[in-house]
Structure 1
C-alpha cells in the first residue's frame, strides 16, 4: 500500500471474441491492494502475454488470471473451446471450435494451442514454433494428461452420451470428471459418446456441449454437472440438454441489444475444482442444467452479458453486467435489471494531442478467490464519450483501457494504458475521466533482493482522474551509483535488474532516463527520474521510492489555456513515509531554462508567457526517511 501525502497533511490512497475452457483449478486470482501498484512486476510468471494461434486468432493471458480472446479478421463468429491441463500444471489450452475435428482426428496438433506453455517458452506465434520446441508431454484430447494410474481389477467402464436440445449429438463437447483428490477428462466422439475406466465410487461429470451459430440457425452452449455412480459393472450416463434452463438478461432500455455474453460454472471439492466457461456471440443461446444434489461439492456461477445501444446513437451507451457469485447455480438464471440498480458511469476518453483508437476491457470479480477473470472488451475512440452501465457492488471490477498502436498480437506497443483494479461501484451516477494530464513520473516498483536491485519504473504517467501510464519509449536507461561511482546499468526502465558488489550498502542514486516520439502523444517526450536513498543487503525488500504527483483540473486532453492562471497541486506518493519538503520548477523551452515556482503549501499558481506552447516540469521532494527525489518531464502538457 502506498501513501499519498501533501505538506502538513496525509491521505491514504488505496473479448474481444470468445473462449470456452474447462479444467482443474487449484489457485485463486491475485489481489491488488493499491491502484498505485504496477500492472506487472519483473518477477511475475513468464506465461503471460499474447499468443497468435495457427488460425491467426490471438489469446491473451494477463496478470491476475485475466483471459481475453480476439478472433482474426473474418473469424468473429468462430467460438473458442479450451481446457486447463489435468496434470497439475494449470496450462490453459484454447482451440477454435472450427479446429476441434482436426485436433480430434490428429490432423492438427493440440500442443500448438497450449497458450501457457508456448508463452512461457517465449513464443508469440504458435505456427512458427518448430517440432523440437513443442511440448513433450502426452496429451488426452486438447490438454496434457495426468500420469495414468494403473487401474485395478475393480475399475469399470463409464460411457457418457451427450444430447443437444434437439436430441442429436452436439457438434462439440468438453467433458471432465471429478471426485475428491482426482480429476480427468473424457474424449467425446462425433456420435456424442465417450468412455473411460473409473474405480467404483461417486463422481461428478462436468459437461459443456456446443453447436455453432450458422446463417440460418442460432448456436447453443449448454453447461452443467451431473452425478454418476460407478459400481461393480459398466455404467452409462445420458446428459440431455433439453433439461437445461435458458440463461439471459433483460435491461431497461428498449433499444439495447445483446452484443456478447459469457457463462462460467464451477464445482469443487476441498482439493480440486472443475469449471467450464465460454465467450459467446449474440447468436449463441446459453443454457445451464439444474444444480445436482451431490454432497461434498461447492458450486459457483457467473454470467456476464454485454448489451449496447444503436451504433449511431447521439448518446452511445453500453451495459457491462455480471450476475452470480459463490453459491448455488440458480434455478432460474434469467435476470431483469433496472438502471436504478446499476452504476451509471459517464466516461470521457481523452487524447493527449493525437486521435487514437483503442479498447476497454472490464473484468468482474464476483467472489473472493475467483481463479479466472474474464474480460469483456470493446473498441473505443480517443477522444470520445460514452455512458457505461455496470453491475454495482458487491461485484468488483478490474478496468483496463489501452489507446495507441498495437502489434499483430494486439499488444500495445506505443500509447498509454490505464488500470483500475478492484473497483466497487455503488448504484447511481458516476463520472470517470481517462487520459487528461499533466504528465509526470509514475510510481515505481523496485525491489532489493540481497545485492540485486530490480523492478520496473513508469517514466511518464498522469494521476489526474484515472492513472494513465505511457508506453513505447524509443530509448532509455537505468543507472545505480553510490558516492558518484556507477555500480551498474540496464537498458529497459520497465524491466531491469542490476547487481551490486557483495554486501554493499550506503547511499545510492537510482537514475532512470527515457525518451519517446510523438506518434501517440504530443507530451511526455522525455523523462529523467532520480532517487537518492539509503539501502543495505536485504531479503526481497521493496524499496520505498516516492514520486511527486501532479494534478490540475485546468489540463484537459493534455492542454491548458495559455491566457488563464493555472492552479497546480502536488502530493507525495509513498508506501510509508511522509513529505518533508517539495519544490517545483517550470520550463517553456523544453528544459533549456527553468524558473522556480512559488508554492503555498502543496499548491502553485502558474501564469504562462505569451506564445508558449508546452510546459515542462521539474519536481523535487525530500521525505521523512531522507530519500531525495528529482523528476523532470519535458512537455508535461501543452498550452492553447
Structure 2
C-alpha cells in the first residue's frame, strides 16, 4: 500500500543519528506532525492542561488539576494546532503570556513536550500576531476600502476575548483582526468577497459564554461598517432522558466548505455555547457539528455517560435545542477494566458524522477510577467515534488504547464492550513500518491487545531498535520507547531482506504489573523508496492474543483456559497469509518455555492452557511465517496474570 505520509522532522526520533528527516514544508507546517506516524504527540501547556494530537487530525485535552471546566479554542489563521485556553486568551493575545508556548504543533516539531520548560531557542521563531504566527496581511493599494468591524457580546459589551480573522474567497490571503477596548477593529481591504471566522465571548474563572459563527461580506467602492451582535446568537443545548445528567464537555465545529475558514471550540460543562446567524461566501455552504458529553452525578450507584453528536450537513440547523430519547441511541454496557491494579483512568471520545466536511475530532477527557462499569449511550451509526481510553494518571507511566483512524460505529439499541483489556502483546502501530523516500519509519506498539478496533501503547519503556541487512547493521537506537515515531536513514535505491529488532523493558508499577519486557524481530523484504511524499507499508505483521476469563488483567489460575491467536498484517491493505505458527508459554518470566499444541485455521489458531500450580503470570512467545516469506519472532513477558 502507498499513501501520502507527511511528518515533521523534529518530532521524529532519528534512530540512525545521521541526518534529520524533513517530510514537511517548513513554510506550511504539517498541523498534525506526529499522530499519523503513531508518534508521541502530547504537549503539557503552561496551564498544566495536556493536549494530544490524535490520528486522523484531531485533538484531545486533559485539563490540569482544578481545571475540569476549562474552555479552549483552536486559533485560526494557521494550519498549526494552537490551543488557546479561554481563561488565558487575553494575556496570550496581548503578549503577556508567550503565544508560542501554546502552539502544540510547533512545540512537537521541536521535540518539546513541556511547553513551560521548552527553551526559548526551541520555540517557534516566526513573528506572532495575537495567538498565531503573523498572517500575510493585505497588499497596499489606493483602491482599498476601510473596513470597520464591531463585536458585541451577549450583553452588548465588548467581548473579553476574540479570535476573528477575514479570509479572501478564491485566494490565500487572510488576516487576524485586533479589537480595541470597545470591541472595534479597523482594516483596509481591496474589492472582493470575504468570509469572517468568528470566535469571541466572556470568561469568568472556568465558565463563560462562547459565541461563534461564519459571516460573509463584500468590499466594493465604499467603506464597510459591520456589526456582529452576540445577542442574535442562538444557544446550543442538548436534552436527554436522564434528568440528573451533568454536562462535562461541549464543542461546536463549523466549516465553510470550499474555503479555508472554520471555527472549532471545545469547553467543559460550565460554558454556554451560542451560534451566530451563519453564512459563507463559499458556494458549497457550511457544515456544522455539535458534540457533547454528559455523565451521571459523581458517586451514582449506576454510572452512565452520553456521547452525542448533532450534525448539520447543509448548514446550521434552524433549531439548536437538541433533544434525543434514549431509545434512539446505542446503549452500551461498558466494562472499563484495569490492568491489574486499581488506578486512575479516563476516556476521550469524539463523534464525527460522515459526509459533512468536518474531519476535526476534538474532545476533553473525562476522568474516573478503574475497574468500573458504566452505561455509555452514543449517537448511533453512521456517526463514527474516535478517541482513546487510558489507565494511569502519570504522563510517564500511563497506558493508552486509541481507536483506529477509521473510527467505531454503534447500532441503536443495547450492546456490550470492554476497554483496557489484557492479554497484552507487542505489535506495530497502524502503518508502523513504512518505507519512505529517505528511509524506514518505525513505530512499535509496546502494549498491543486483541481488540481490533484499537491500538495500545504504554509509557515507561526503554530499550533498543536495530535495523540490519544480513550481518550488516544499518542503524541502531538506544533509549526511550514510549510510542515515539522514528526512522532509519536509507538511500532511495536501498532494498533487500532486512531485519528489524525491537527490545523494550518497563518496570512493574502502580499502573500495571503486566508486559514488563517485550521483544520482536521481523525479517521482511524492504522495497526501494516510493515517491518523495509517499510511503509504502512493508510486509511486517504481528500476533495478537485473546484468552478466556481475563478480567482486569488476571484469569483464574486453577482453570483450563482457551486462548486464541490471530496473525495480523500491520495494515489491512497488505494481504499476507500465515503459513506457519509456533506458540510457547512461560510461567517463570521467560526463564523456561514450553511449546503448546495449537489448532490453526488460516490466520487464526486456538490452544488450551493448563496452568501449573503456583503460576502467577503467563508469558507468551510466537514464531510465525507468512506467504511472502517474512518471518516474525515475538515475545511478551507477563502478557496477563493468574490468581
Give the TM-score of the pair, scaled to structure 2.
Answer: 0.84
Q: Is the 8 A contact 1:77 1:213 kept in 2?
A: no
Structure 1 unaligned residues grouped into runs of 5+: 3-25, 31-37
Equivalent residues, number? 595
Matched, 1:50 2:50: no
Per the TM alignment, residue 609 of structure 1 is displaced from its structure 2 partner at its CA by 1.8
Determine the structure 1 residue equivalent to 2:418: 433
2:503 aligns with one of 490, 513, 516? 513
Measure the CA separation in 1 of the matches of 2:491 and 2:200: 60
Q: Is the 8 A contact 1:79 1:212 kept in 2?
A: no
Deviation by residue 1:444-491 (Cα, 9 ceiling, x = unmatched):
521344784441222442215764634235432223344455444322
Query: Which aligned pairs between 1:273-288 and structure 2 lie closer than 5 A?
Result: 273-288=260-275
Deviation by residue 1:290-347 (Cα, 9 ceiling, x = unmatched):
2348563520111112211121211100111111143211111111101111111111
Determine the structure 2 residue equivalent to 1:547: 542
Deviation by residue 1:380-412 (Cα, 9 ceiling, x = unmatched):
3221111111111121111301112423xxxx5
Q: Is the 8 A contact 2:129 2:176 kept in 1?
A: yes
Per the TM alignment, residue 251 of structure 1 is displaced from its structure 2 partner at its CA by 0.6
Determine the structure 1 residue equivalent to 2:157: 168
Measure the CA separation in 2 of the matches of 1:316 and 1:382: 13
Determine the structure 2 residue equivalent to 1:396: 384
Deviation by residue 1:235-274 (Cα, 9 ceiling, x = unmatched):
2112222222221111111221222311122224x3x322
Determine the structure 2 residue equivalent to 1:140: 129
Per the TM alignment, residue 544 of structure 1 is displaced from its structure 2 partner at its CA by 0.9
Distance 1:504 1:172, change over 3 A: closer
Query: Which aligned pairs between 1:259-408 and structure 2 lie closer than 5 A?
Result: 259-268=248-257, 270=258, 272-292=259-279, 294=281, 296=283, 298-368=285-355, 369-407=357-395
Measure the CA separation in 2 of the matches of 1:187 and 1:64: 32
Measure the CA separation in 1 of the matches of 2:244 and 2:80: 41
Determine the structure 2 residue equivalent to 1:23: none
Give the TM-score of the pair, scaled to structure 1.
Answer: 0.84
Give secondary structure in 1 for the equivalent of 2:427: coil
Query: Which aligned pairs between 1:360-509 and structure 2 lie closer than 5 A?
Result: 360-368=347-355, 369-407=357-395, 413-421=397-405, 422-443=407-428, 445-449=432-436, 452-464=439-451, 467=454, 469-484=456-471, 486-491=473-478, 494=483, 495-498=485-488, 506-509=496-499
Determine the structure 1 residue equivalent to 2:580: 581
Measure the CA separation in 2 of the matches of 1:488 and 1:210: 53
Rg comparison, structure with higher value: 1
Q: Is the 8 A contact 1:290 1:331 kept in 2?
A: no
Determine the structure 2 residue equivalent to 1:207: 198
Per the TM alignment, residue 193 of structure 1 is displaced from its structure 2 partner at its CA by 1.1
Q: Which moved more, 1:91-100 or 1:237-246?
A: 91-100
Determine the structure 2 residue equivalent to 1:124: 113
| Cα RMSD for the two superposed structures | 3.1
Matched, 1:532 2:517: no
Matched, 1:636 2:639: yes
Measure the CA separation in 1 of the matches of 2:98 and 2:460: 38
Give secondary structure in 1 for the equivalent of 2:82: strand
Determine the structure 2 residue equivalent to 1:35: none
Query: Which aligned pairs between 1:9-48 and structure 2 lie closer than 5 A?
Result: 40-41=36-37, 48=41
Q: Is the 8 A contact 1:213 1:283 kept in 2?
A: no
Matched, 1:606 2:609: yes
Measure the CA separation in 1 of the matches of 2:218 and 2:494: 65
Deviation by residue 1:155-186 (Cα, 9 ceiling, x = unmatched):
11111112222222222222222331133222
Q: Which moved more, 1:524-533 or 1:105-114?
A: 105-114
Measure the CA separation in 1 of the matches of 2:340 and 2:520: 24
Q: Is the 8 A contact 1:459 1:513 kept in 2?
A: no
Per the TM alignment, residue 231 of structure 1 is displaced from its structure 2 partner at its CA by 3.1
Distance 1:162 1:482, change over 3 A: closer
Measure the CA separation in 1 of the matches of 2:205 and 2:470: 70
Per the TM alignment, residue 637 of structure 1 is displaced from its structure 2 partner at its CA by 1.9
Give secondary structure in 2 for the equivalent of 1:118: helix
Measure the CA separation in 1 of the matches of 2:119 and 2:502: 38
Q: Which moved more, 1:100-109 or 1:562-571?
A: 100-109
